[in-house]
Amino acid sequence: MRRISLLAAGLFSISAVHAQIDRGTTLLGSDVMFEKATDKRDGDPHANTRTVYYITPSIGRAISDDLVAGVRLLYGYSVQKNYSTTASISKNSSYGAGLFIRRYKKVAGGLNVFLEARLQGLYQYYTQADRSTGVVYQNNKTYNVIAGLNPGLAYAATRRIWLEIALQNLIYAQYQHTRGEGDGMPGSTGNDFAISTAFNSIPISLGFKILLD
């Protein structure tokens, strides 16, 4: 029993050492978000479906202990198939890049909380088409600038590998410029600015970091 206690204490102390990111450390990693939803009404032979995924590779550098600054890229894609009224299929492709700064705070052992401030640009291309004919009757191009706060948890599985879960843009400010065309009508443009929260439907991402000296 004493050996087991000593082993547990040793593992805890190793985990505690792993839980700090030293100044000068380089971090490589990525976040992934995936969502799949189905909506089927009673008596309806078809179901509306929605599939969304995002991947965001990143590289950062610890500018001081447990404070990381870096850059990230983003690619996302979603497709929604609708049968409720006119059968349609909507697709949305997203491309982005941004800067971030993240502060880690040790909680216990290998567990850390973090808060990330992020500024990113995002381009999205949206189309809606008739499912039976494939004819596109609406398309939009959207340009976004988003500043947001992203809290999360990180666990030092080893000294080199950290596993993370984050809440994306929990509080954010967004500027959006949209150009759209639809049903043969002339193109339209629109601008929008909003400060909002994502408490009603918080996007959750899973990720990892690899620490390099």
Residues 134-176 have pLDDT tens digits of 778 888 999 999 999 999 999 999 989 999 999 988 999 999 9
- Measured CA distances, 169 to 5, 100, 117, 150, 199 (Å): 42, 12, 9, 5, 10
pLDDT attached to residue 202: 74
7, burial (CB in 10 Å: exposed 0-12, middle 13-18, buried 19+): exposed
How many C-beta neighbours within 10 Å does residue 140 have?
18
Residues 4-19 have pLDDT tens digits of 444 344 434 444 444 6
CATH of segment(s) 2-212: 2.40.160.20
- Which three-class secondary structure state does DSSP give residue 108? strand
Lowest mean pLDDT among 9-13, 77-81, 115-119: 9-13
pLDDT attached to residue 9: 45
Number of H helices, E strands in the chain: 1, 10
pLDDT attached to residue 39: 76
Q: How confident is the model at residue 178 (pLDDT cuts 50, 70, 90)?
A: very high
Strand partners, 33: 54
pLDDT attached to residue 44: 65
Strand partners, 162: 156, 209
Q: Which two tokens stand for residue 51?
A: 């599939």
pLDDT attached to residue 131: 76
Residues 14-72 have pLDDT tens digits of 444 446 899 999 999 999 998 888 876 666 667 788 899 999 999 999 999 999 999 99
- Which three-class secondary structure state does DSSP give residue 17? helix
Helix (H) or strand (E) holding 3: helix 2-18
Contacts of 106 (CB under 8 A, 6+ apart): 16, 19, 20, 66, 112
How many C-beta neighbours within 10 Å does residue 168 have?
21
Backbone angles phi, psi at 43, to 5 degrees: 85, -10
